[in-house]
A and B are shown apart, each in its own frame.
Chain A
Amino acid sequence: MTMPLPRLSNATLLFATLSAITLGVLIGSAVIKKRNDFKPAERGRLVDVPVGTTMPDQLLTFRLFDGATAAPNQDGDGNPLPSAAGENIVRATAPLKQDVVTIDVPARGQLEYKAIMQRGASLVYHWRADGPIYFDFHAHTDDNTSGFYTRYANGESIADGGSIVAAYAGQHGWYFENAGRSGVTVTLTVAGFYDELIPVEL
């Protein structure tokens, strides 16, 4: 069917095949070794933040109110004036809730928990897993037909935490995927002004 192959000498064929197999085995083994050396806590910018400890400074992305930069907001005598009402607040649109859920993600399994939120609602969360797990923290509207979604964060880790303000009403949730051979248990803590926290069948 195809054109005749060039004829190699036995020696060349043997050398090429054996060196290729040897190199292939070495590379394959190196890849396996590299995979096993993986330490989730040392990779990426995600840091394991156990509940109850102080977050390292570099993780804080907001600044506290600083009187020095608020100089224009002074009355004639130099006394500070309040900033405009409603400027630094998002009013709650739902009662304050808190949930702690334990999620068993079987080997090669996937699971998702979603918080149903109104626009402007906020929540804080933290999760911790007993092994490395892939997560994808993302959001989309309830009637998602366009495929549009917002990704907050993703990667492989054993813990993550943070806070969000919903830019639009919909489902804001955590997708977990376990590529390993043994089950991983994730403990997810969520608190905030969301309507409800629900597991999703995948």
Chain B
Amino acid sequence: MNRLPHRFMLLLMAPVAVAVPALAHDVSATDAARIVGASGPQFALYVELGAKHMITGLDHVLFLLGVMFYADRMRTVLTLASLFAAGHTITLLTGVVWALDVHPYLVDAIIGLSVAYKGFDNLGGFERILGHRPSAGLVVFVFGLFHGLGLATKIQDVGLPEQGLITNLIGFNVGVELGQIGALTGILVVLALIRRAGQAVRLGLIVNTALITAGVALFIDQFGRFMGY
């Protein structure tokens, strides 16, 4: 690993770097207008919104990629995915029902940190510093709570009509889970290809370094917004 071509590595990180501005996302304006135009229970609409948010929300997808990067057994994948789902479901539901007014930029900054955290963890950073890896299950659950809080602030931002609130909210969450399954499928295919390519160590270094870059960029951008820059 010492002889790894560093310049080559940076070059490979560039596309990820370029993509970062598109990462910080809201429920799109089109969808906002559809929510504005809608009234009462709109289960199907909110399922679609939830799925779309999860799949186009690259911060969630990047975090999942980091979480699953070294999960080599289906049981591990399912356990981690369930813990993440449990975490964000709890905060999405309670966040909206109790109308928690958490600053969305601050939540998005923490979500950015979660991406960088997984990148560093996958590089073996915490193992090196602490002598052991923090429990992957606990970490994915706790960050899942923050991702859910992010979802809650987003859906509240575009306005959730009081009428049919619970139906719509459950629809949104169902959509989020469907989106997560979709994103997860794509991620697992990519990871299988990486392992098959026989370059797992090198690609692991590149991808996880890129995750740190993307996570830090997201954090800076969102924290900047929070600070008013």
Contact = CB atoms under 8 A, between A and B. Distances in A.
Indicate, yes or no, whether A interacts with B.
Answer: yes
Interface of A: 1-3, 5-13, 15-17, 19-21, 23-25, 27-29, 31-32, 34, 36, 108, 110, 112, 134, 136, 138, 140, 144-145, 147-149, 151, 154, 175, 177, 181, 202
Nearest to B215: A24
Given A32-B229, A202-B36, A20 B71 contact: no
B217 A154 contact: no
Main DSSP-derived SS at the A contact region: mixed
A61 to B, nearest CB: 23
B76 interface: yes
B136 A144 contact: no
A12 B206 CA distance: 11
Interface stretch (B85-93, B144-152, B171-179, B220-228): B220-228
A2 B71 CA distance: 5
A9 B76 contact: no
Interface in B80-137: 80, 116, 119-120, 122-125, 127-128, 133, 135-137
A151 to B, nearest CB: 6
Contacts of A28: 20, 216-221, 224
Contacts of B123: 5, 8, 13, 16-17
Interface of B: 1-2, 4, 6, 9-10, 13, 17, 20-21, 24, 29-30, 32-34, 36-40, 42, 45, 70-72, 76, 79-80, 116, 119-120, 122-125, 127-128, 133, 135-137, 157, 159, 200-201, 204-205, 208-210, 212-221, 224-225, 228-229
B190 to A, nearest CB: 17
A19 B10 contact: yes
B212 A147 contact: no
B220 A12 contact: no
A23 B45 CA distance: 39
Contacts of A16: 9, 123, 205, 208-209, 212
B37 A138 contact: yes
Contact of B32 (A3, A6, A136, A145): A136
23 contacts: A1-B71, A1-B76, A1-B135, A3-B70, A3-B72, A6-B205, A12-B1, A15-B6, A20-B116, A23-B10, A23-B213, A25-B216, A28-B218, A28-B220, A31-B20, A31-B21, A31-B217, A32-B221, A110-B159, A138-B37, A144-B39, A147-B42, A202-B159
A20 B136 CA distance: 22
A15 B6 CA distance: 9
Main DSSP-derived SS at the B contact region: helix
Given A16-B209, A29-B220, A202-B159, A112 B36 contact: yes
B19 to A, nearest CB: 10
A151 B82 CA distance: 39
Contact of B136 (A1, A27, A154, A175): A1
A15 to B, nearest CB: 6
B228 A144 contact: no
Given A17-B209, A24-B216, A29-B220, 19 more contacts: A1-B76, A1-B80, A2-B71, A7-B124, A10-B128, A15-B6, A19-B209, A20-B210, A21-B216, A23-B216, A25-B217, A28-B224, A31-B220, A108-B157, A134-B29, A136-B33, A148-B37, A175-B32, A202-B36
B201 A6 contact: yes
A88 to B, nearest CB: 32
Instruction: Kindly list the 8 A-B residue pairs having the minimum CB-CB distance in the complex, ordered from nearest.
Output: A28-B220, A24-B216, A20-B212, A27-B217, A149-B37, A2-B70, A28-B217, A32-B224
A23 to B, nearest CB: 5
Contact of B17 (A2, A27, A32, A36): A27
